[in-house]
Structure 1
Amino acid sequence: MSIRIQNIPTTTVTCANCQACCCRLEVMIITDTGVPKQHIAVDEYGAETMLRLDDGWCSAVDRETLRCTIYENRPWICREFEMGSYECITERTDSM
């Protein structure tokens, strides 16, 4: 018996075809990586997250290139969210 898995994208994710889907997720800032203050939102409990603008995108994303404008200072979670990983592919699939 063989099992056929459907709806798995076959395109490899690269910087050239990245849709920056992860940049629409809520990103907690849990370590100090030097995120500029203008990109930080603080909730009523003092928790810090990346600021998202009215369009739902992270404030640090360049809307024309879909690249991070603070890449060297991006939060730890962004560093761990690997391009092309299972999580990345899942977000891309869910956003379609």
Structure 2
Amino acid sequence: MSTPEPDDSPDPSLTCDTCRACCCQLEVILMGDDDVPRHLTRQDRWGGEVMRRLDDGWCVALDRDTQLCTIYERRPGVCRDFLMGGVECAEERAHLDASGRVIHLLRGPL
């Protein structure tokens, strides 16, 4: 008897309208075929190219008023692959407090 595969389908109750863009506080490593405007990137301490983040940890490409990506059509592949309502999305949402701020166990609120 085989073990059932875990359900990878997105949770329809998790939408971008209700998450307060928590994925926009993650480190985004750029790959060779990403076409992000250069002024929105920086080099990390290992020499890799990453999306720049503001002092409070938010991605520099996020419009803080609308919570929408300002470079959506040119967003990195990592962002394109981040499935709304998927496993990674649900894991990040688990770090939101009641006000929607991201809580990291070792660093506290961002």
Q: When the two structures are superposed, what TM-score results if normalisation uses the length of structure 1?
A: 0.80
Would you say 1:54 and 2:65 are equivalent positions? no
Would you say 1:76 and 2:71 are equivalent positions? no
Following superposition of structure 1 onto structure 2, how do residues 10-21 of structure 1 map, counting pairs within 5 Å?
12-21=13-22
Does the 8 Å CA contact 2:12/2:85 hold for their aligned counterparts?
no
Q: Which amino acid aligns with 1:87?
A: E
State the Cα deviation string for residues 24-71 of structure 1 (Å, max 9, x = none): 011100132310011101124431000001011000000011111001
Q: Which amino acid aligns with 2:88?
A: E
- Count, aligned residues: 87
Between the aligned partners of 2:13 and 2:47, the Cα distance in structure 1 is 38
Deviation at 1:74, TM superposition (A): 0.7
Structure 2: gaps of 5 or more residues: 1-10, 98-110
Between the aligned partners of 2:87 and 2:45, the Cα distance in structure 1 is 33
Looking at secondary structure, tell me which structure has more strand per residue.
Answer: 2
Q: Which amino acid aligns with 1:37?
A: R
User: What is the RMSD computed on CA atoms of the aligned residues?
Assistant: 1.7
Q: Which amino acid aligns with 1:25?
A: L
Does the 8 Å CA contact 1:31/1:76 hold for their aligned counterparts?
no
The answer for the alignment partner of 1:92 in structure 2 is: 93
The answer for the alignment partner of 1:31 in structure 2 is: 32
Q: When the two structures are superposed, what TM-score results if normalisation uses the length of structure 2?
A: 0.71
Does the 8 Å CA contact 1:33/1:74 hold for their aligned counterparts?
yes
Between the aligned partners of 2:45 and 2:26, the Cα distance in structure 1 is 19
The answer for the alignment partner of 1:42 in structure 2 is: 43
Between the aligned partners of 2:32 and 2:18, the Cα distance in structure 1 is 29
